[in-house]
Amino acid sequence: MLDFLGDLKRTHMCGALRPSDAGKKAVLMGWVNRRRDLGSIIFIDLRDRTGVTQVVVNRELNAPAHEKASSLRNEYVVAVIGNVKQRDSDTVNKNIPTGEVELVVEELRILNESKQPPFLPGEAVLPNEEMRLKYRYIDLRRDVMQFNIEMRHKVSKAIRDYLSAQGFFEIETPFMTRSTPEGARDYLVPSRVQPGSFYALPQSPQMFKQILMISGFDKYFQIVRCFRDEDFRADRQAEFTQIDLEMTYPQTDTVWGVVEGFLTAAFKAAGHEIKTPFPRMSYDEAIRRYGNDKPDMRLPAMVDVREAITPEELEDFATKFRVRKEFPVQLIRIPHAGEISGTERRTIGTYGAYQHVQGPSYVQLMTDPKRFAKDYPSLSEKIVSFGKIEADDLWLLAAARAEGTGADPSVQNFCEKCGFLRLDLAQKYAAKHKAFEKTGDPAKDFRFLWVSDFPMFEWDKTEKRWNPAHHPFTTLHEEDMAKLEANIDSVHDPKSPLGEIRALAYDVVLNGTELGSGSIRIHRQDIQAKIFQALGMSDEEARSRFGFFLEALEYGTPPHGGIALGLDRIVMILAGADSLREVIPFPKTARAVDLMVDAPTPVSEAQLKELGIQIRK
């Protein structure tokens, strides 16, 4: 028989009671986390989101309650009225904040039963993820999940509070809209009223937030869901949350200041102090020194050792190793990797993402510093001192094979390959060099960075054309305007200087992960038209895709810019979790399936008919 809650009110949460409450009467409500039956005494660990309190039911003192308690099972929901008692010193549980007290039952009400759950929230061993996602409501009862979701709340709130205080308005934008320009596939929603027509779910609120600037709101933000139908990629979600913002009359550093401000608030909410301003780096520099547009600053940059040696030495080196002297000779160094065996050295470059540089590739490696030092003592000495190489560092040189050896790399290509190797090595020796370990020191743990001046256009090898590297509303450096005009009709020319044009676009990067990206936008219709022309987009095509937006640009659009950051990813990092699914209450699998509600599903013939849709088999 179940009891009614009646007008019983809870006085404390399950994590609240302390010795100072001893002698008080308390009413707790929660789940039976565990029941230990010692015969005449039954202990119940009562759990809610704040913690666990030990409840004691003594047959001698309270036979009816004891009888009821005997019927309790895991995850039953109960209310307990009792007296708070300080525990004897030998029964204190130091592992929980309520461990010095217990609640001695006067009355027990069983508010609900529970079937035997497929797994228990209190168990240390996790069931497989499919099970966790199917029974998400049980999984979410686990204290780690409760912690992560609470942290998510705190982080969002800190960001909201910060941005509100800076004069940003939180403004909602539609979910049922039309295709947005982020370049992924859209999720479509069929219209019943206009059969054959579809809404698209927004890949981002990009055009709306720009229109809000045209509409005079000056500063906008939104913590907003975005939808992108992308092929499986690790750690992506079909729907994910962005911290999206836009403001008028900004320079890039105006936007950066806002982001640094709200990240400081967000990290503080999670108990971390971070240092601002973040270091800044151009895209070109990132590629040259890190071989990557989202450098992990916990590892040293690559160094071009050509700077350390004389032209004669370089000549000699290039001839001996059959490498190109016009290309960087990259010193890759993993500090404190310790002793590396000869076999290990010889296999460098043959594992992981880097396998492809062996054999036919154009990257030539020197991985045996000892032998190098023997063969080229002065060169080696110079490199060691220039690269500040220490005795227990792992280091090697990577150079581009001489012409005529089969490949025709660009410097960028070459640097990117070296960058892969740098990261591969860092991963492989992570345990040894410890750069990836948490130290509690934000300057070491959280290495933020701004990367700016991305290329405006990128060459699409398959389609043989230039595409916008960001979305097509990103503006360019004023100094690069002439270059755009001079090359406006070269969308199919791979050698076009379009590739040299720099966008006023930027990414914020943390420990090798891109947290978000944004740009200063095009606010003038004439420039927007030029960009479309350079992208080989006809007037009609541009009008049919973005017509309403282009028209809006013509009604007094102020200069504006903004950015969007991934909230899920930020919370994931702060929670120390290794998957986005650990910080999203109801996530989807890699195949975009919700295992709990079982979506997507086929729909009835009648529903399809109403929408004017026929499924092709």
Q: CA-to-CA distance for 246 and 559, rounded, in angstroms?
A: 11
CB contact at 8 A, 75 and 31: yes
Among 30, 562, 566, 587, binds ligand ASP (CB under 6 A): 562
Structure tokens at 212: 């809000």
Q: Is 182 in the site for ligand ASP (CB under 6 A)?
A: yes
Q: What is the DSSP string of 424-465?
A: HHHHHTHHHH-TTS--S-HHHH--EEEEE--BSEEEETTTTE
| Helices vs strands, H then E, count in the chain | 19, 21
Among 33, 62, 206, 248, binds ligand ASP (CB under 6 A): 206
We find the least distance from the C-beta atom of residue 338 to ligand ASP, in angstroms, to be 41
We find the least distance from the C-beta atom of residue 230 to ligand ASP, in angstroms, to be 13
Q: Is 557 in the site for ligand ASP (CB under 6 A)?
A: no
We find the least distance from the C-beta atom of residue 378 to ligand ASP, in angstroms, to be 50
We find the least distance from the C-beta atom of residue 476 to ligand ASP, in angstroms, to be 14
Q: Is 520 in the site for ligand ASP (CB under 6 A)?
A: no
Q: CA-to-CA distance for 556 and 551, rounded, in angstroms?
A: 10
Structure tokens at 311: 């032209």
Q: Is 241 in the site for ligand ASP (CB under 6 A)?
A: no
We find the least distance from the C-beta atom of residue 206 to ligand ASP, in angstroms, to be 4
Q: Is 563 in the site for ligand ASP (CB under 6 A)?
A: yes
In one-letter notation, the amino acid at residue 6 is G
Window contacting ligand ASP (CB under 6 A); options: 92-100, 258-266, 440-448, 511-519: 511-519
Instruction: Of 460, 458, 452, give the one whose Cα is nearest residue 477.
Output: 452
Nearby residues of 590 by Cβ (< 8 Å), 6 or more positions away? 232, 234, 236
Q: How far is CA 361 from CA 302, 350, 465, 534, 592, in A?
A: 20, 12, 25, 34, 37
Q: CA-to-CA distance for 580 and 569, rounded, in angstroms?
A: 6
Q: Is 248 in the site for ligand ASP (CB under 6 A)?
A: no
Region 341-380 residues binding ligand ASP, contact defined as CB under 6 A: none
We find the least distance from the C-beta atom of residue 517 to ligand ASP, in angstroms, to be 5
Window contacting ligand ASP (CB under 6 A); options: 171-179, 292-300, 440-448, 515-523: 515-523
Strands 51-58 and 101-112: parallel
Please tell me the count of residues contacting ligand ASP according to CB under 6 A: 9
We find the least distance from the C-beta atom of residue 244 to ligand ASP, in angstroms, to be 6
Q: Is 476 in the site for ligand ASP (CB under 6 A)?
A: no
Q: Identify which of residues 278 and 473 has a Cβ nearer to ligand ASP in the complex.
A: 473
Q: Identify which of residues 183 and 190 has a Cβ nearer to ligand ASP in the complex.
A: 183
Window contacting ligand ASP (CB under 6 A); options: 69-77, 151-159, 321-329, 556-564: 556-564
Q: Is 204 in the site for ligand ASP (CB under 6 A)?
A: yes
Q: Is 237 in the site for ligand ASP (CB under 6 A)?
A: no
Q: Identify which of residues 143 and 239 has a Cβ nearer to ligand ASP in the complex.
A: 239
We find the least distance from the C-beta atom of residue 374 to ligand ASP, in angstroms, to be 52
Nearby residues of 256 by Cβ (< 8 Å), 6 or more positions away? 277, 278, 280, 450, 506, 508
Nearby residues of 555 by Cβ (< 8 Å), 6 or more positions away? 214
Q: Identify which of residues 328 and 562 has a Cβ nearer to ligand ASP in the complex.
A: 562
Q: Is 239 in the site for ligand ASP (CB under 6 A)?
A: no
Q: Is 452 in the site for ligand ASP (CB under 6 A)?
A: no
Window contacting ligand ASP (CB under 6 A); options: 121-129, 451-459, 516-524, 552-560: 516-524
We find the least distance from the C-beta atom of residue 563 to ligand ASP, in angstroms, to be 5
Structure tokens at 196: 């054959």
Among 148, 248, 452, 519, binds ligand ASP (CB under 6 A): 519
Phi/psi for 436 (5° steps) reads -90, 0
Q: CA-to-CA distance for 138 and 131, rounded, in angstroms?
A: 10
Nearby residues of 566 by Cβ (< 8 Å), 6 or more positions away? 240, 241, 242, 243, 515, 516
What does the binding site for ligand ASP look like in residue numbers (CB under 6 A)?
182, 204, 206, 517-519, 562-564
